[in-house]
Amino acid sequence: MTGVAMAEFLSGEGIRLAYDTAGAGDPPIIFVHGWSCDRSYFAPQFEHFAVSHAVAAMDLRGHGDSSRTDPGPGCYDIDVLAGDVLALAGAAGFSRPVLVGHSLGALIGLACAARPGAIRALLMVEPAPITNTKAKAFFRDSLAAVRADDDRSWRTAFIEGMFLPTDAARREAIIKEMCGVPPGIAAALMRAMGEFDGAGALRKARVPVLSIGSAVPANKSADLRSLCPPITIGQTVGAGHFIQLEVPEQVNAMIERFLAINELSPHARDPRSPTSAPPSANPDSSTYPACSQHDHPRSRRPTGRRQ
């Protein structure tokens, strides 16, 4: 697409972070990729939403064109990566952006959402394990295998398991690209995902939250809703882990609807609420109820029908 600007930001730690920007319109949206991926993994959403929003897609440290920092203690912790994302958002001029995160990026988004006033909304695209304790334990137990995976065989098998048999979008390229991340960095990030208290972060979220799962989501909807009753949950049809690439039309439509009903679209209001406030009146994190407040009106389900 035209009008894309590639930039680099040097963090306070001296970490070079690469990112693309395009479009104009409030609220700005920042896209954060998953484990061992890069900013191109949100290309369909970046292009789609640049029509009406200012958008940015970044390479996390250790990925793509960003610095490949040695995996020292804590260097790739989720909260550290969240600090990178928010620092880059500030450098790009994105005040309280909407954060869209895939897999690992969704956990980073949770860490951002737990920081008062940091972001305006969190949209989790096929999030990494938050409530799935067995998967988190598998990550922690696999560190030695990932760290020693110089021939890429362990990661190749692991990544192949992320696809449905019918998935076709960039399949071979994804496997090759993800295995290209140095094993030490891949292991450090797997440790971070296994140790991060995503459930605690979700409870603290004070912004609208959407979770879009694949055909085989890592987290059960009921578990997410028990932590955050106001959460909006969607699920795609016919796609494995990389839903934003495999079925972008489904993912984009759910993101658009979620932004509209939360008055986060530049020109749209919820057609069911003709008297709703204009987008400029978006509630900030000081007024939006925390997920732990179970009496929030949006958490109440209609009676008289099964959910």
Structure letter (DSSP) for residue 102 = E
Tokens of 241: 């882990």
pLDDT at 290: 65
Contact 243, 125 (CB under 8 A): yes
According to CATH, what is the number of the domain 5-299? 3.40.50.1820
Strands 232-235 and 209-213: parallel
Contact 28, 55 (CB under 8 A): yes
Q: Which residues contact 65 (CB under 8 A, 6 or more apart)?
A: 8, 18, 38, 59
Contact 180, 128 (CB under 8 A): no
Q: Tell me the CB-side half-sphere exposure of residue 183, using CA atoms within 13 A.
A: 15
- Look-up of token digits 């900013």: 39
Which ranges of the chain would DSSP assign to H, the alpha helix?
43-49, 78-91, 104-113, 133-141, 143-147, 153-160, 171-178, 183-195, 198-204, 221-227, 243-246, 248-261
Give 168-201 pLDDT, tens digit per residue: 999 999 999 999 999 999 999 999 999 999 999 9
Which long-range CB contacts under 8 A does 143-151 form with residues at least 24 apart? 143/187, 143/190, 143/191, 144/187, 146/183, 146/186, 146/187, 146/190, 147/183, 147/184, 147/187, 148/183, 149/183, 149/186, 150/183
Q: Which residues contact 289 (CB under 8 A, 6 or more apart)?
A: 206, 230, 296
pLDDT at 18: 94
Position 277 pLDDT exceeds 80? no
Average pLDDT of every residue of the chain: 89
Give 90-140 pLDDT, tens digit per residue: 999 999 999 999 999 999 999 999 999 999 999 999 999 999 999 999 999
Contact 87, 11 (CB under 8 A): yes
Residue 210, classified by CB atoms within 10 Å of its CB into exposed (0-12), middle (13-18) or buried (19+), is buried
pLDDT at 91: 92
Out of 18-27, 74-83, 170-179, 278-287, pick the least confident: 278-287
Position 297 pLDDT exceeds 60? no
Mean pLDDT in residue range 148-168: 98
Residue 47, classified by CB atoms within 10 Å of its CB into exposed (0-12), middle (13-18) or buried (19+), is middle
pLDDT-derived band at 288 (thresholds 50, 70, 90) equals low
Global confidence as pTM = 0.89
Contact 104, 80 (CB under 8 A): no
pLDDT at 273: 46
What percentage of the chain reaches a pLDDT higher than 70? 86
Task: Please give the span between the terminal C-alpha atoms of the chain, in angstroms, as a whole number.
Answer: 41
pLDDT at 286: 46
pLDDT at 7: 74
Strands 16-22 and 55-58: antiparallel
pLDDT-derived band at 306 (thresholds 50, 70, 90) equals very low
